[in-house]
Chain A
Amino acid sequence: MFRKVLIANRGEIAVRLIRGLRDLNIPSVAVYSDVDRASLAVRMADEAARLGPAPSSESYLRIDKIIDAAKRHGADAIHPGYGFLSENAEFAQAVVDAGLTFIGPPAAAIEKMGSKTAARQFAIAAGAPVVPGTEEAIQSIDRARATARALGYPVLLKAAAGGGGKGMRRVDREEDLEAAIRDASSEAGRAFRNADVYLEKLVVEPRHVEIQVLGDHHGHMIHLGERECSLQRRHQKVIEECPSPVMSIDPGLRERMGAAAVRVARSAGYTNAGTVEFLVDRDRNFYFLEMNTRLQVEHPVTELVTGLDLVAWQLRIAAGERLTIRQEDVRWSGCAIECRIYAEDPENNFLPFPGKITRLVEPSGPGIRLDSGVYEGWSVPFEYDPLLAKLVAWGQNRDVAIGRLNRALLEYKIGGIRCNVSFFVDILNDPHFLSGDYSTAYLDGFYARKKAPPEAPELEAVAALAAAISRQKPAASASQPVSKWKWR
């Protein structure tokens, strides 16, 4: 096993990894940019190294500085987390060239899966179904027109190097195609420094279901079932759950998708933890979408349902140990649902809302897991993504998990900044979500369907009372001194 591991990341995932390392008695090295000096990860880690100024290009994306920090601190392995350099083949190779271990797949597998068009070819070769479409980047508008006509509208333009919805366009009519290619291509060029886009048939109102795989360096690979990720806003996931509600309609689907995912990953020479994403249509046909060659944000969902620690297995596999779990040993128990808690304002078009956290009360209790990267008094920087924490509930069935999640959301209090907790309360009380019969189109219509919250005169009265009391002198309130808190 490793002597010491450097975590090339920040935020809640850095905290998750420090915990995973400590579970195995391995010292951790956190890295930080100037605005993250006081972050929870830096406080919790055994050692910490400064990378540079706030912009990622001068800190968390600096391969040279990260490898240098690992050497100075005597780490023998690097965990990339997700985002930043986690799917950068050059980084994975540089780590190996420096004589260290990269905790993740081989650079060659990242490279193969890194381009969506190349990944499609691997999927096809492995016999996994793919969404009908071109397998190459668009070279000419005439070819694109012919392809789109053959596929039938609506079609979808996607960035070859993309993710997160950047460079993605739905096209409903041929006359819109040329402009859409131009837009998508320039957006992709800006976001990924690669302007290549390609065409796919648009699967209307699909589910987005992904399969977790785990493989060792001795030729053994298994899948850990699915995560339902259809709840997305602007192509960003907000809620994930396992099992996918679709599995109750078609219990054989998990096995079929799992087997396809393992075939695709094997064909690319994949090892360690990875995720194969699929679209599932109304008739429960599934299509390979892409592979994420890293630990996913939503990995706790799988951990709670299978009882397996994905981070611990990543470490063991990277250290050369055998994956001792056989496919037939994997059991899925109960249901887990995750909410991504973002620093954004659900009352104001989900605008990001970084700033100082002046109040933090975190939920706990039966079936609740909170993977958080923040603490009261810390200022959430505006330079990085707005994910603060992941709130995950487990229950013996979906209803129990939803009940617990609802309860935990009511316990959760984050003040000073805005966050999307109230948005989740709305979703978890929506009959459409509760039915489990939803697709990636769910959130588009959510606000149109949503009614204003019911009148709550008693809660309102209590709020007014608390506000009035809080501005009185300490003596006016019952027990402890009530602050110098000032009203605007």
Chain B
Amino acid sequence: MKYDVEVNGREGHLELRGGEFEYNGVARDYSIESSGPGIFSILTGGRSYQATLLAPGTIQVEGRIFSVEIFDPRELRARSAAGLSQGRQNVAAPMPGKVVRLLVAQGDTVEAGQGLIVVEAMKMQNEMKSPKAGVVAEVRTSDGATVAAGEILVVIE
């Protein structure tokens, strides 16, 4: 099996062949055991590693945390399609929390860096700023709403 991968934002290439895998041109032997969902013991080059899937896309190996995306050839088309809507910029919640202040409304003109919305979690307030100058195309939340990390709150066009 061949995969395109992205580790900590860098693209790479992975190939699995029987008891061997090749990553970015370096071939290594390996043996892998899983004792449960997302928990792996990996032996390679005589060394023993514990790899733990912390969350989808996040793997911890020996105290280091890697963000890993795996792309199937079939998904490649979807990937490039995602890059099309360049003009619109989504502003997503960086953390789960509660919307304590909406600073803009749909149709407002905003400057790059202008505050759009304030989200509070654990007694800390975080103001999200506009990534570019433009117009507020959508406000997808409301004052007092509970939001999840990554949820799109405002769209700037």
Contacts and interface: CB of A to CB of B under 8 A. Distances in A.
B63 A422 contact: yes
Nearest to B12: A464
A354 B32 contact: no
A271 to B, nearest CB: 31
B42 A462 contact: yes
A465 B55 contact: no
Contacts of B148: 355
A459 B3 CA distance: 18
Given A465-B32, A479-B33, A351 B66 contact: no
Given A460-B7, A467-B59, A384 B122 contact: yes
Interface string B22-54: 011010101111111110101011010101111
Nearest to B14: A464
A133 interface: no
B34 A410 contact: no
Interface string A395-417: 00000000000000110011110
B96 A361 contact: no
B66 A382 contact: no
Given A343-B122, A483-B37, A485-B38, A468 B14 contact: yes
Nearest to A386: B122
Contacts of B33: 478-479
A463 interface: yes
A464 B7 contact: yes
Interface string A407-444: 00110011110000110010000000000000000000
B26 A358 contact: no
Contact of B5 (A351, A409, A467, A472): A467
Contacts of A461: 21, 23-24, 26, 28, 44
A468 B70 contact: yes
B46 to A, nearest CB: 11
B107 interface: no
Contact of B45 (A352, A458, A472): A458
B7 A354 contact: no
B41 to A, nearest CB: 9
Nearest to B97: A382
Contacts of B62: 410, 459
Contacts of B1: 468, 472
Query: Considering residues A355, A421, A466, which has the most beta carbons from chain B within 10 angstroms of its beta carbon?
Result: A466
A462 B49 contact: yes
A470 B38 contact: yes
A453 interface: yes
B107 to A, nearest CB: 29
Contacts of B51: 462-463, 465-466
B34 A463 contact: no
A326 to B, nearest CB: 42
A39 to B, nearest CB: 15
B151 to A, nearest CB: 12
B126 to A, nearest CB: 6
Contacts of A477: 32, 34
A139 interface: no
A469 interface: yes
Contact of B59 (A351, A358, A383, A466): A466
Contacts of A457: 24, 26
A453 B64 CA distance: 9
Nearest to B57: A488
A384 to B, nearest CB: 7
Nearest to A406: B63
B112 interface: no
A486 interface: yes
B133 to A, nearest CB: 23
B123 interface: yes
Contacts of B68: 463-464, 467
Contacts of A248: none
A459 B64 CA distance: 8
Interface string B68-90: 11100000000000000000000
Given A384-B122, A485-B53, 16 more contacts: A358-B55, A382-B97, A415-B52, A456-B64, A457-B24, A460-B8, A461-B21, A462-B44, A463-B59, A465-B51, A467-B70, A468-B70, A469-B32, A478-B34, A479-B34, A488-B69
Interface of B: 1, 3, 5, 7-8, 12, 14, 16, 21, 23-24, 26, 28, 30-38, 40, 42, 44-45, 47, 49, 51-66, 68-70, 94-98, 120-124, 126, 146, 148-149
Closest 10 CB pairs of A and B: A415-B54, A483-B37, A466-B51, A352-B122, A410-B63, A463-B66, A461-B23, A467-B68, A382-B121, A352-B121
29 contacts: A345-B94, A348-B94, A352-B121, A352-B124, A353-B121, A354-B95, A359-B52, A359-B55, A361-B52, A413-B60, A415-B52, A415-B58, A458-B45, A459-B49, A460-B8, A463-B68, A464-B14, A464-B23, A465-B42, A466-B53, A467-B5, A467-B59, A467-B68, A468-B16, A477-B32, A478-B32, A478-B33, A487-B69, A487-B70
